[in-house]
Chain A
Amino acid sequence: MTKPLVAIRTVSKNFGEFQALKNVSLDVWPGEVMCLIGASGSGKTTLLRCINQLATIDSGGIWLDGELLGVREHGGKLHRLSEREIGRQRLKTGMVFQRFNLFPHKTALENITEGPTQVQGRKPDEVRAEAIELLRRVGLAAKADSYPAQLSGGQQQRVAIARALAMKPMLMLFDEPTSALDPELVGEVLAVMKELARSGMTMMVVTHELGFAREVADRVVYMDQGAIVEQGRASDVLGAPREERTKAFLSAVI
């Protein structure tokens, strides 16, 4: 029997008084494309950030590929992992940010090769060839030597996707990847993500693009106030929601 790639168990996270995540449990299966939807402040972005440890959880546990994230159990207590070990665990995930966060002082190609050469210590020539292939895959082979400021938002986000893929992650995390884009640029980013989904990549996507969710997601998870309210097949959750809160949210955004 296969095991979930990500197992989230009774995870809570507070920012001061504010409870961002309340006792969340969830499995993500290998090859699954999961869309997380919900109003802002519902905890969906926080959940992603906890999975790649940009945020640390206050209680509960997250297992990625069978390995407990961020802490080690020893003598009945949990001990925080060193920064180096957390860095190693992060390599299993790729993150795409809402605001792209490309490195502005490096070209598109250098953004992609930075991680594999600097962090994984791989050969520059080999990495470069792979990076050019990745740029071709996201349709930007001609922009290899452009700096981020010379690219449109959609192009920057596609470079950011290529940068994340260059690390050969097992899981791709997308944090509202199209929210900062002009409407006419959303399509090109979604097209790259669809291609990625078809290639069998496990993906967790925080999004407001319900059309994308309906078309690509294997499962849609609706979150509200730090908890999972409803989840299931896209056609069920989006087409025939059972919970009142889901209905209210969907009628508000459509």
Chain B
Amino acid sequence: MKPAPALAEGFPDLSGMRIAREPHWFRWISAALIILVLAAIARAFANGQIEWSYVSRFLTVKVILEGIVNTMVMAVLAMMLGVVLGIVVAIMRLSPNPVLKTVAAGYTWLFRGTPLILQLLLWFNLALVFPTIGIPGLWSARAVDVMTPFLAALLGLGINQGAYTSEVMRAGMLSVDVGQYEAAQAIGMGRLRALRRIVLPQAMRVVIPPLGNEFIGMVKATSLASVIQYPELLHNAENIYYANSRVIELLIVAGLWYLLVVSILTPLQMLLERRFARGTLRLAR
């Protein structure tokens, strides 16, 4: 074996030396400036015409807490309705049947094309169109009794959400490789079973971040139901300030609660994402 050729001189061994930390002056200065600005804003609000004692007093009052519960119940139920409708409509949209396709497209067009608040008002005032509703010969009732604020809000929010969710679900289903449909067919699965067992579970991974977005939007969209007397958070806060005229204080109370709820939802979404990320990590368990 030949000896290795001698190394050139003038290149010292650096193996024992550490890399020095940069001072990052600009980061320190910009952070300080931002803290100053925030402090100024906080001071302005502290000295403004806000009675902070009202905020803390009404933050945990019973009516407000009931409002949050109603907001969350409505958000969860309407979202569930929206997701179920969304999946069904997305499957209809990707079906080879032109009738189903057209119906699905028409649904999305109608409910995405009109303002949510208008849809809520229409549902709530359905009694003006149909004084009584029911199944002929079996059951009937006065529409004003059936179309409560709760039901009107649920239908309005859920059906509207279904139109948006269907597009999210469709995007997710399109993201799954065609080879997956073929492999499912090759082991004898029909279209619907392949969708349910193979394609949808894989689509969920793609769909959860936008669905999380939609759900956060839904939590806040429930506040629109205040116009149809559904006793959610904003509606109850308004009722209090109609009585005591502490408008800004109660709006801040409502705002804080919305922020808190949304802050809790974000880590929940990450848990869900991990559940549906099964098999995407290359590392062995």
Q: Which of B188, B190, B283 is within 8 Å of A150, CB to CB?
A: B283
User: For the complex, is A119 an interface residue (Cβ under 8 Å from B)?
Assistant: yes
Instruction: Give how many A residues have a beta carbon under 8 Å from the other chain's beta carbons.
Output: 35
User: For the complex, is B267 an interface residue (Cβ under 8 Å from A)?
Assistant: no
Instruction: Using CB atoms and an 8 Å cutoff, list the residues of chain B in contact with chain A.
Output: 177, 179-180, 182-191, 193, 197-198, 201-202, 205, 276, 278-285
Q: Which of A88, A90, A103 is within 8 Å of B198, CB to CB?
A: A103
Contact with B along A91-109 (1 / 0, CB 8 A): 1011101010111111100
- In the complex the two chains form, what is the Cα distance from A111 to B106 in whole Å? 38
User: In the complex, what's the smallest C-beta–C-beta distance from B200 to chain A, in angstroms?
Assistant: 10
**A residues in contact with B281, CB < 8 Å:** 147, 149-150
Instruction: Using CB atoms and an 8 Å cutoff, list the residues of chain A in contact with chain B.
Output: 52, 54, 83-84, 87-88, 90-91, 93-95, 97, 99, 101-107, 114-115, 118-120, 145-150, 160, 163-164, 167
Inter-chain contact A94/B280, CB cutoff 8 Å: no
- In the complex the two chains form, what is the Cα distance from A95 to B179 in whole Å? 12
Total contacts A-B at CB 8 Å: 85
Inter-chain contact B187/A163, CB cutoff 8 Å: yes
Seed contacts A84-B190, A95-B183, A163-B187; 8 additional CB < 8 Å A-B pairs: A52-B186, A54-B186, A103-B183, A103-B184, A105-B276, A106-B279, A147-B281, A167-B187
User: In the complex, what's the smallest C-beta–C-beta distance from A72 to chain B, in angstroms?
Assistant: 18
Inter-chain contact A87/B188, CB cutoff 8 Å: yes
Inter-chain contact B179/A99, CB cutoff 8 Å: yes
User: In the complex, what's the smallest C-beta–C-beta distance from B239 to chain A, in angstroms?
Assistant: 48
Closest to B284 in A: A150
Inter-chain contact B179/A101, CB cutoff 8 Å: yes
- In the complex the two chains form, what is the Cα distance from A114 to B186 in whole Å? 12
**B residues in contact with A102, CB < 8 Å:** 183
**B residues in contact with A164, CB < 8 Å:** 186-187
**B residues in contact with A99, CB < 8 Å:** 179
Inter-chain contact B279/A83, CB cutoff 8 Å: no
- In the complex the two chains form, what is the Cα distance from A90 to B180 in whole Å? 16
- In the complex the two chains form, what is the Cα distance from A46 to B148 in whole Å? 59
**A residues in contact with B177, CB < 8 Å:** 101
Q: Which of B191, B197, B278, B284 is within 8 Å of A83, CB to CB?
A: B191
The 8 lowest CB-CB distance pairs between A and B, nearest first, are A115-B187, A147-B279, A101-B183, A95-B186, A101-B179, A119-B188, A91-B188, A104-B279
Inter-chain contact A149/B185, CB cutoff 8 Å: no
**Known A83-B191, A146-B284, A150-B283: A105·B202 in contact at CB below 8 Å:** yes
- In the complex the two chains form, what is the Cα distance from A39 to B185 in whole Å? 27
